[in-house]
Amino acid sequence: MAVSFECVTHTALGMAELFDLSRNIDAHTGSMARSRETAVAGVTSGLIGLGQEVSWRAWHFGVPLRMTSRITAMDAPSRFVDEQVKGPFRHFRHIHDFQEGPEGTIMTDRIGFAAPFGPVGRLVEKLVLARYLERLIETRNQFLVQSA
């Protein structure tokens, strides 16, 4: 069973600008400085596109992790999807949706994941990992809208 959550961010930035910021490897690295996340393989700088991959190295919960994601769908400037192809999750999917709002852009992040825990670990997924990942996405989004 997967866990999912959604984060909605409102900003005065234009859709195309926010779309590109959201798939910019350098902006992502800047937003994740606290976890020392760096791109180590694949697309390691600039904009990532459809079918391309990036491998990340980071520290979470005091543990070094490595995860490779691929952009599996893209409809610029309204939507793209990245999915884990290798890493710590049984599966991880991040849908990035952008729509014009009354005062700029509404960015909606939809995350679905399953950790490699057995049945006992489902509680950890929901109570610890989901909230932790939600805070990471919120921090990333704040960084993006403030850095433009």
92 burial level (CB within 10 Å; 0-12, 13-18, 19+): buried
| pTM of this structure | 0.93
Quick one: pLDDT band at residue 64, thresholds 50, 70, 90? very high
What band does 1 get if pLDDT is binned at 50, 70 and 90?
low
Indicate if the pLDDT at residue 124 is higher than 60.
Answer: yes
| Structure confidence at residue 115 (pLDDT) | 85
Tell me what pLDDT residue 106 has.
Answer: 98
Alpha-carbon span 19 to 45, nearest angstrom = 16
pLDDT score, position 50: 98
The pLDDT, as a whole number, for residue 126 is 79
- Rounded CA-CA distance 30/46 in Å is 12
pLDDT, greater one: 37 or 117 = 37
Domain at 3-147, CATH class: alpha beta
At residue 34, the pLDDT reads 87
